[in-house]
Amino acid sequence: MATEIATFGGGCFWCTEAVFREVKGVESVQSGYTGGHVPDPTYEQICEGTTGHAEVVRVRFDPDVISHRELLEIFFTIHDPTTLNRQGNDVGTQYRSVIHYHSSQQQATARSVIAEMAIVWDAPLVTELSAAETFYVAEDYHQDYFRQNPLQGYCAFVVAPKVAQFRSTFAERAVD
């Protein structure tokens, strides 16, 4: 089985990771950082907003089960691609909406989906599209954060509703 990698930034990676872990055909999800100028950044550095990195997830998926296009459709449903450097109360360039493509096919698909989504949203999209860069895996405590901390305040009030929205909107694509 050949897998592919997709990299998305849609605000806090806890939210994005939690949703993509629920998708049929997704083999693994890692939270991390990419798109900046500081090698091996830490979470504390990212939070300062001076490294240029975004909080992202790297999704390994089976394209025979779920396509990159379908992952992009989910991505555009679980975050607001019209708010520059912000998702809800999370503010800063590290929370920007971004797609890092890993092939020319992913780039073309992302451009097509962005054009389609521009019609759906009432405000202009600010989602960046750029080639995949060095991916730095976030600290261990960030991995699978929602499953390990479902009652933590942010998880209960921000992450859980996004997961529930995914499950209701994309029930056929959710892991049973």
Element (H, E) at 117: helix 104-120
- Is 155 assigned a catalytic role? no
Residues linked to residue 31 through DSSP beta bridges, in sequence order: 57
| Cβ neighbours for 110, distance < 8 A, ≥ 6 positions apart | 68, 72, 99, 101, 129
Q: How far apart (Å, rounded) are the C-alpha atoms in residues 176 and 44?
A: 36
Q: How far apart (Å, rounded) are the C-alpha atoms in residues 93 and 136?
A: 17
Instruction: Decide: 99 and 75 in contact? Cβ < 8 Å.
Output: yes
**Backbone angles phi and psi of 25, in degrees to 5:** 95, -10
Catalytic residue among 12, 15, 47, 155: 12
Give the active site residues.
12
